[in-house]
Amino acid sequence: MKILANDGIHLSGIKHLEEAGHQVDTTTVSQSQLAHYINEHQIEVVLVRSATEIKEALIDQCPSIKLIGRGGVGMDNIAVDYAISKGIKVINTPDASARAVAELSFAHLLSGARFLYDANRNMPLEGDTHFKDLKKSYATGMELKGKTLGIFGFGNIGQETAKIGLSMGMNVLFFDPEIKSITLELDFFNGHKVPFILEASSRESVLEESHFISLHVPSQKEYCIDRNAFSMLKKGVGIINTARGNALDEVALIEFLDNETVAFAGLDVFESEPNPEIKILMHPNISLTPHIGAATLEAQEKIGLSLAKQIISFDHA
């Protein structure tokens, strides 16, 4: 089959596909020219990440498409139901990037707990002249062990985040309307596994009892953490969002950061992405990354291989 990996694919995935007899095109085609390119080259499989959209109009214009693949978890840039109704197979890679996103969530969490986001801004400017003052200003950091981590959304990424929290000695609470109880396996480097049973908490309990909150919900119409939710939070809470920009009310976030209900936030995704609001970018108590949750070498390799295996399986079906 002819495959267009419009947002790229790891070399291991390309190799796997080519060895199976498929043609892989890694040209990056602009959204406006995509339909023309697909039709001109009779592309049968389109692989995307978050940059390219495959919506109804494109599907109607490109009858050669047999399969659409999303390298990652979220499918909001693909008209999934419409594609399926047209007989097009739609795949994604929900497991491949879970650990990468979970580790980034903890990178933001640790950065907030020890003021690294702020120290990295101020040390280059004042480290040589106000070293002792900076040392004093960052002397009230928090340790994570013994603190409560609240997780909203308990799919693959939420579960990986919980495993890291448990391994660090944290009390983990979670809310997910689809999951009431789950047994997690904590995997250690020597192959040893330890099972851990978690029972779901109510939404209110997670909001009121957590020292830190991490969001791992899919794209949705209403905020997961809205203004009312902010009013229920424990004073001094830290909030991490590596899920979707629309999971968090950013206007309310600024307000509750300024009144010190929220001590810090860590954001990898933004409501107005790819043009985050200047108040978010300039706020002194927000740790920032440009939507890099799945951007590790290991995750990209796993994503590429997962897509390749699913495409080969589809072709052989």
Tokens of 163: 């495993």
Where does 168-287 have alpha helices with state H?
A: 203-209, 227-230, 250-258, 278-282
Residue of 239, 284, 303 lying closest to 138 (CA atoms) = 284
**What φ, ψ does residue 171 adopt, rounded to 5°?**
-85, 120
Identify residue 80 by its one-letter amino acid code.
Answer: V
Which residue in this structure is represented by tokens 């890679």?
A: 93
Query: Dihedral angle at the C-alpha atoms of 237, 238, 242, 246, nearest 10 degrees?
Result: 50
What are 28's two structure tokens?
A: 């990056």
Report which of 28, 83, 76 is spatially closest to residue 53, judged by C-alpha positions: 76
Token readout for 227 is: 């203004």
Catalytic residues: 244, 273, 291
